[in-house]
């Protein structure tokens, strides 16, 4: 086990992840609510939300990696920061083409970011609780990405609602992980 993993496990890594997962869940819930209300009524709002989503993922992965030993010690998250940053730019360009392009881009991003999230969770599995849901989330994200690509190839134009379901499921996974860590911490204090 490297020093940063020992420090992470011994100095409140679970407490950090609990707060981090709650923040990720809260952001996703707010994003989904905005997408399904204002985002469905206004293309401009939908466009802003679609740009914000991968930008938030890049920022969140950056902060989590920095908090846990830096990007050099968290390669899957470092790559995820880069992938999500590129996706932010790609969405901006795709929005000038069509929602099919946007959904196709989200599909590629969901595959890559999901597999990278899965890799991060597998790495943390030995030192941190609540990772089984992150493993499921990463795998589900990759599957959803393939589904997005298939939808994007159809002639029907998708909407932000297609992405909202994916974001909602992500919120659920983050919430379950946060609750799992909270219950684990309560049990440790009681013991």
- Tens of pLDDT, residue by residue over 73-102, are 999 999 999 999 999 999 999 999 999 999
Q: Is the pLDDT of residue 10 over 50?
A: no
pLDDT bucket at 13, cuts 50 / 70 / 90: low
Q: What is the pLDDT of residue 187?
A: 82
Distance CA 149, CA 101 (A): 9
pLDDT above 50: residue 32: yes
Q: The whole model's pTM is what?
A: 0.87
Any idea which residue has 């993993």 for tokens?
5
Residue whose token pair is 């990772």: 131
Instruction: Tell me the average pLDDT across 18-41.
Output: 96
Residue 160: name the closest of 40, 33, 48, 38 by CA. Answer: 40
- Mind giving me the DSSP string for 132-165? HHHHHHHHHHHHHHHHHHHHHTSSS---HHHHHH
Give the distance, in angstroms, between the CA of residue 37 and the centroid of all CA atoms in the same chain: 21
């Amino acid at each position: 086990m490297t020093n940063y993993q020992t420090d992470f496990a011994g100095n409140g890594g679970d407490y950090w992840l609990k707060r981090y997962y709650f923040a990720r869940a809260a952001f996703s819930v707010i994003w989904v609510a905005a997408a399904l209300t204002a985002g469905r009524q206004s293309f401009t709002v939908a466009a802003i939300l679609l740009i914000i989503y991968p930008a938030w993922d890049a920022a969140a992965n950056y902060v989590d990696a920095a908090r846990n030993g830096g990007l050099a010690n968290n390669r899957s998250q470092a790559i995820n920061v880069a992938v999500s940053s590129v996706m932010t730019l790609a969405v901006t360009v795709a929005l000038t083409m069509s929602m099919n392009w946007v959904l196709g881009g989200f599909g590629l991003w969901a595959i890559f970011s999901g597999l990278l999230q899965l890799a991060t969770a597998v790495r943390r599995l030995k030192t941190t609780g609540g990772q089984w849901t992150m493993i499921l989330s990463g795998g589900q994200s990759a599957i959803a990405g393939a589904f997005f690509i298939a939808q994007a190839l159809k002639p029907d134009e998708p909407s932000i609602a297609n992405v909202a379901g994916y974001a909602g499921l992500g919120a659920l996974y983050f919430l379950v992980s946060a609750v799992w860590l909270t219950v684990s911490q309560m049990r440790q204090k009681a013991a």
